[in-house]
Structure 1
Amino acid sequence: GFVALGTVADVVPLIGENRILVHYGLRSFAMTEHVGVRTLLEESRVRADAVLAETIAFRIAPLINAAGRLGSPDRALDLLLSRDDEESRRLASWLGQANQERKAIENEMFEAGVEQIEATGGVVLGRPIVVAREGWHSGVAGIVASRLVERFRCPAFVIAVNDGLGRGSARSLEGIPLEPFYEAARAHAESIGGHALAGGLAVLPDRIDDLAGAIQAAAPPASRVDAASRYDLELTLGDIQPPLLQDLRQLEPHGQANPTPCFRFRELRIEGDVRRIGKNEDHLTFLARQGRRRIRVIYFRGAERARELTRIRNRFSVVAEIYLNDFRGNPRPELRLIDFGAD
């Protein structure tokens, strides 16, 4: 279980023997007697027999990482080492509260970053985003950068300025490597580097504008990636049958270097209303129909595109992942929307 947890949480490529280790590691959670792990699963609201790689990535790992993002990782380590029920519950509860605090800080920084971008004219095609502010939390900069990439479909640099130094994170998407931006900005940064999709930097506050200018000037023409053009296969809703679902399960676990397959569905229309869901109403859900077939669609963090979706509701295409929602023990296929556009 620890091998699966560490491999997925550290975004290690899930290919070759890594994938085999994670496959069997996920199974081991159902049999674990480790007090700290059981308590961690309970705090994450995850059944021990239903742990997937994406469960670790989006529900369990954020709890563990919250400790380090907001201070010291010691309490997360203490929980994983704990063999005492009472101590484990106390530590897991603390991690849960820290993760909620992290989410609040993240949302505040994300909204402020979007305001900065819009106040300066929005995203220019072919240029990355660079946002910075005094008092931001550097431990959350990477998550905020990832959300900006998801929102604007271009690279993002998020810089938190504290105690006379800006510390930041960079994130990008497949097709737009970050290395050219590192090289362009190196003369203006105290340090900068990483790999194609993620990196970090340190910069003096009075050099941030120069650094941003160098990064944006290094952008190749029309470097915005259109998610709608990136999919594995075109399907119809009628193709979503048990044999296909079984075949898709054989491809798991998914993660870095072994992504969840994406499919394109054409000529859909929305049946009923597009509803906002989630604690902050930042997700969307609706029923999509294609001929006589219909399916529930979930669009995580898609609330800002609700009007656009409603405007083309009578005929549009989507790129989406297929997943089984087994809420209350009643599994049913649904689509997890990645992008959409008018037909």
Structure 2
Amino acid sequence: MEKRWSIKEEPHFDVEAELSAFEDIGPIIGRLLALRGITSREEAHAFFYPTLAQLHDPFLMKDMAVAVDRLSKAISSNESILIYGDYDVDGTTSVALVYSFLKEFHPHIDYYIPDRCDEGYGISQKSIDLAEEKNISLVIALDCGIKAVDKIAYAREKGIDFIICDHHTPGAELPEAVACLDPKREDCNYPDKNLSGCGVGFKFMQAFAMRKGVAFDRLLRYIDLVVVSIASDVVPVTGENRTLAVAGLKKLNQDPCLGLKSIIQVAGIDGKELELNDIVFKIGPRLNAAGRIESGNNAVKLLICNDEKEAYHIGCSINRCNETRKDLDRNITREAIRLVATDKNLSHRKTTVLYQPCWHQGVIGIVASRLSSLFCRPSVILTRTNKLIVGSARSVDGYNVYQAIEACQDLLENFGGHDYAAGLTLKPENVEVFAQRFEEVVAHTIEPAQLVPQIDVDVEIRLKDITQVFFDNLKRCHPFGPGNPKPVFVTRNVYDFGTSKVVGRHREHLMLELIESDSPKIIRGIAFGKGHLLNRIKSSQPFDICYTIEECMNNHPLSLQLMVLDIKWKSEQ
């Protein structure tokens, strides 16, 4: 599918010039900072040198003081406390952090992760009944609960208090919990609205530590869990999240908890400097696989483990779950693609909605994401569990799929999520009418450009601009992620040096060596899936490339290489 290159607007010249002079970073890095909303040398300093001193006062969050008071009362009264969280990475890291930290101060504490298939997302009635049986009087819900109005009312009838720590968009009515900690509340003035669920839990524990005079360093022992949640839940790596991510990556690289250490080992990434992408593609999927295939309890058990041998044993078990997950993902994705290809009605739609009762509930979110990327349109994948249909929705760049799902809420039993990802539950008789309504909503609200794959380009540069000094300054912009994406560059009118070739088992990739007409500098690059362009590359005609810049990891004499995202000739533009 052809891609559009969207080059970002030029920032204000005076701002770019001032930033370029900051520590001699140069005009290209200066522009990258300006494009990220940085407007002064002071802001540039805070961006390059984030410190924990930049964290906001947790008591700025609505209901925080009430939450700390209730937790303190529970501890002083020797009440039994349950830490409850979602079964995904954000939820399990949240539970592991809060459980581990509070366990230092209170012995009567337990945790609970709902079963993905039997209980579904959010607070379940089963868990409340179990809490009543165990005489638990306080539940701390993490990464869920902000829309659980009925469940919290049910718990109140049983004399069970809830403190909700969530980061999802609230509904029209808040639950009657003791406290609802959620920066997305309309009446919450907390400066950063984009915390992960684990981030909200961290702020709660920070406030508790401040109230009790506990050294902050004791809480920072769990900061590696926060960065895993930030990367895995795809929240913006800006503001407070950037500060937490930098500190968390340092801990993850220098002294990870035993559970994460075991995952790093079984993933084969020990010994390298870990970045957010390593969490997204290596660590996060394995922790998620526990809840997708068996139980999210296994992920928490791993993350709170204090025995190295046991941690490695659990890590290997979770790794086997991940292999099963990959097989299910691969098979269901292939089946879904076949369904799209054979249904002529789907080819004219702005959405993809597919339902198969036998699809594994644990991987439908992954499949929805793959289809959205492949067909460049919002996708919903549905399967059956017990008497209901459950689904996962994923979006395309720039389109708020949560609002589209919300417009269909009269057909749903439950829903929740973010701008680009949502979950939903509905009755079997509503599947077809939901698919039609969702199509109508999206068709009337999505922009045509959002249905065409787009590559957002930061700046045009020359190959001769790519030096080690330039790249060293570029690395100072790490960690990259949503809100601070890895910079994408365009260079016009490049040529094959004469040594480009196809590589790969099926000769499907291009290994490039490129030059400009007025410079002897040779830059190496790799273009995955573009081996079919070799003859045209070698036609002596200039072409344009868009790419990111990486360090070459195989000791090649050219230490930097381009990850070429797309190639275009003048006739195609």
TM-score interval, normalised by the smaller of the two chains: 0.7 to 0.9
The letter for the 2-side match of 1:297 is I
The letter for the 2-side match of 1:247 is N
For 1:202 and 1:265, locate their aligned partners in 2 and report how far apart those are by CA, in whole Å: 47
Q: In the TM superposition, what is the alpha-carbon distance from 1:10 to its structure 2 partner?
A: 2.8
Equivalent residue for 1:159, pick from 382, 394, 398: 382
DSSP-derived class of the 2:397 partner: coil
Greater gyration radius: 2
Equivalent residue for 1:275, pick from 499, 503, 512: 503
1:83-115 deviation digits (Å, cap 9, x = unpaired): 223212211111111111111111111111111
In the comparison of the two structures, how many residue pairs are matched? Answer: 335
**Greater percentage in strand:** 1
Contact 2:527–2:564 (8 Å) recurs in 1: yes
Determine if the alignment matches structure 1 residue 266 to structure 2 residue 489.
Answer: no
For 1:311 and 1:185, locate their aligned partners in 2 and report how far apart those are by CA, in whole Å: 50
Determine if the alignment matches structure 1 residue 335 to structure 2 residue 562.
Answer: yes
Q: 1:89 to 1:180 in 2, by over 3 A?
A: closer
Determine if the alignment matches structure 1 residue 253 to structure 2 residue 253.
Answer: no
For 1:297 and 1:231, locate their aligned partners in 2 and report how far apart those are by CA, in whole Å: 18
Contact 2:388–2:427 (8 Å) recurs in 1: yes
Equivalences for residues 176-325 of structure 1 within 5 A: 176-218=399-441, 219=443, 220=446, 222-228=448-454, 230-268=456-494, 272-276=500-504, 284-287=509-512, 289-291=514-516, 293-299=522-528, 303=529, 307=532, 309=533, 313=537, 314=539, 316-325=543-552
Equivalent residue for 2:365, pick from 142, 149, 154: 142
Between 1:203-212 and 1:322-331, the stretch displaced more is 322-331
Q: In the TM superposition, what is the alpha-carbon distance from 1:328 to its structure 2 partner?
A: 6.3
1:118-149 deviation digits (Å, cap 9, x = unpaired): 11238657702222212111221111111122
Q: Which residue of 2 aligns with 1:100?
A: 323
DSSP-derived class of the 1:224 partner: helix
Q: Which residue of 2 aligns with 1:29?
A: 252
For 1:249 and 1:158, locate their aligned partners in 2 and report how far apart those are by CA, in whole Å: 38
Q: In the TM superposition, what is the alpha-carbon distance from 1:55 to its structure 2 partner?
A: 1.0
DSSP-derived class of the 1:336 partner: strand
TM-score, normalised relative to structure 2: 0.53
Q: Which residue of 1 aligns with 2:306?
A: 83
Q: 1:268 to 1:128 in 2, by over 3 A?
A: farther
For 1:226 and 1:46, locate their aligned partners in 2 and report how far apart those are by CA, in whole Å: 35
Q: 1:215 to 1:338 in 2, by over 3 A?
A: farther
For 1:186 and 1:320, locate their aligned partners in 2 and report how far apart those are by CA, in whole Å: 41
Q: In the TM superposition, what is the alpha-carbon distance from 1:168 to its structure 2 partner?
A: 1.1
1:199-252 deviation digits (Å, cap 9, x = unpaired): 111233333222222222222452534444521112333332112211221111
Determine if the alignment matches structure 1 residue 118 to structure 2 residue 341.
Answer: yes
Q: 1:173 to 1:337 in 2, by over 3 A?
A: farther
Q: 1:2 to 1:197 in 2, by over 3 A?
A: same
Q: In the TM superposition, what is the alpha-carbon distance from 1:283 to its structure 2 partner?
A: 7.7
For 2:353 and 2:507, locate their aligned partners in 1 and report how far apart those are by CA, in whole Å: 24
Gaps in structure 1 of 5+ consecutive residues: none
Gaps in structure 2 of 5+ consecutive residues: 1-223
Q: In the TM superposition, what is the alpha-carbon distance from 1:36 to its structure 2 partner?
A: 2.7
Determine if the alignment matches structure 1 residue 59 to structure 2 residue 287.
Answer: no
Contact 1:324–1:334 (8 Å) recurs in 2: yes
Q: In the TM superposition, what is the alpha-carbon distance from 1:335 to its structure 2 partner?
A: 2.9
Contact 1:41–1:48 (8 Å) recurs in 2: no
Q: In the TM superposition, what is the alpha-carbon distance from 1:7 to its structure 2 partner?
A: 2.5
**Coordinate RMSD, CA, aligned:** 3.0
TM-score, normalised relative to structure 1: 0.85
Q: 1:254 to 1:137 in 2, by over 3 A?
A: same
For 1:162 and 1:98, locate their aligned partners in 2 and report how far apart those are by CA, in whole Å: 20
The letter for the 1-side match of 2:562 is L
Q: 1:295 to 1:328 in 2, by over 3 A?
A: closer
1:18-72 deviation digits (Å, cap 9, x = unpaired): 2122112212234317433322211121235511111111111111111011131
